[in-house]
Amino acid sequence: MTPLEEDLKKALARVEPPDGFTERLAARMGAMPARKRPPVYWRWAAAAAAAAVLFSGVSYEHERQARGEAAKEKVLLAMRITSSKLQQAQHQIEEVEGH
């Protein structure tokens, strides 16, 4: 790294937001729902951490793979739900029409 790049890293170091940032954010959001059970993805994260591949180039691709597969499953779920509700509407129409 050149001296300029080193200087840039120092110049662009992260800074904390002004005091009260979290409180102001919470005020904008209002009350959050009470916790009932831990989010599913933290369990996935625990499993990934146990594998200890977080800092390798291979892990980046695995993470992308996992994200893609999960997104695919969500798309399929959404399509199933939508089709189900459209079908429900059609059945209701048929009931009303006396078919």
Q: Note the residues at the interface with another protein (CB under 8 A).
A: 4-5, 7-18, 21-22, 24-25, 28-42, 44-45, 48, 54, 60, 63, 66-72, 74-90, 92-97, 99
Q: How many CB atoms lie within 10 A of CB 53?
A: 14
| Distance in Å, CB of 52 to another protein, minimum | 14
Distinct helix (H) and strand (E) counts, the chain: 4, 0
Nearer to another protein, 5 or 58 (CB): 5
Nearer to another protein, 32 or 50 (CB): 32
Helix (H, G, I), strand (E, B) or coil at 32: coil
| Distance in Å, CB of 25 to another protein, minimum | 5
CA distances for 7 relative to 12, 14, 15, 21, 76, angstroms: 9, 14, 16, 28, 49
Nearer to another protein, 42 or 50 (CB): 42
Question: How far apart are alpha carbons 52 and 58 in whole angstroms?
Answer: 11
| Distance in Å, CB of 32 to another protein, minimum | 5
